[in-house]
Amino acid sequence: MAADVPLFAWFAARAGLEPGTVAADTRPVTPVYVAIALAAALVIWSIWTNNRLIAARNKVDEAWSGIDVQLKRRHDLVPNLVATVKGYAAHEHDTLLKATEARAAAMAASDPGTVGKAENALSGALSDIRVVAEQYPDLRASENFQKLQSELAEVEDEIQAARRIYNSNVQQYNTRQQVFPNSVIAGIAEHRPRELFAIEVSAERLVPTVAFG
């Protein structure tokens, strides 16, 4: 052990200690350590905030897919409806053409803004078909027409339900982006506000009659 004494004395001298004393770190926490702790907390909070925004955005996308499914169901009903009406009122060419063109425009739309406008135009065209049908008792009484009207009304109810869910998620997502300090992370991570979906279905323009005497 004696051989260790000079070595200890050498280390003690390097550390500025007197031989035989024990080193004790009584230095206060420096601002550097505080800054490191704050930086670590900031990084953790940023990741957590961004993850919450991503989760909210995913809910918006999921809700939009629900709307898209119902819109496609409506699009699929239009050709059969047009064909049925044409069988009883072939000379109503302009009304039927308007519905066909509106359907094509609705299918080509992509973002909620353009989809909403295109679907509103389609709703107007479908309402016009209902008005035309009122002038043809045989058409109104046909089983196929009644079935299509019933299916269309059901789909439009589903569209409105899906729209409410989607808009609720959009509002939550947009609010999380806009409040401070979340807005800082939203800007850095390139989160963008989503657009609400507005649609007036044809059932709201003219309540369909699905059963005729």
Q: What CATH number did the domain enclosing 154 receive?
A: 1.20.1440.20
Distance CA 52, CA 185 (A): 11
Handedness of CA 7, 8, 14, 16 (dihedral sign): negative
The pLDDT score that the predictor gives to residue 1 is 46
**7 within a domain of the structure (yes/no):** no
Q: Domain span at residue 139?
A: 27-205
The pLDDT score that the predictor gives to residue 122 is 95
**49 within a domain of the structure (yes/no):** yes
**5 within a domain of the structure (yes/no):** no
SS3 call for 9: helix
Distance CA 149, CA 45 (A): 53
**8 within a domain of the structure (yes/no):** no
Contact 129, 152 (CB under 8 A): no
The pLDDT score that the predictor gives to residue 212 is 33
Query: Taking the model in full, what pTM does it have?
Result: 0.75
**196 within a domain of the structure (yes/no):** yes
**133 within a domain of the structure (yes/no):** yes
Compute mean pLDDT per 10 residues along the chain, 213 residues long, and list them: 51 53 57 84 90 94 95 95 90 92 94 93 93 90 92 93 96 92 87 90 50 34
The pLDDT score that the predictor gives to residue 210 is 38
Number of domains in the chain: 1
**121 within a domain of the structure (yes/no):** yes
Residue 79 preceded by cis peptide, ω within 30: no
Distance CA 77, CA 213 (A): 24
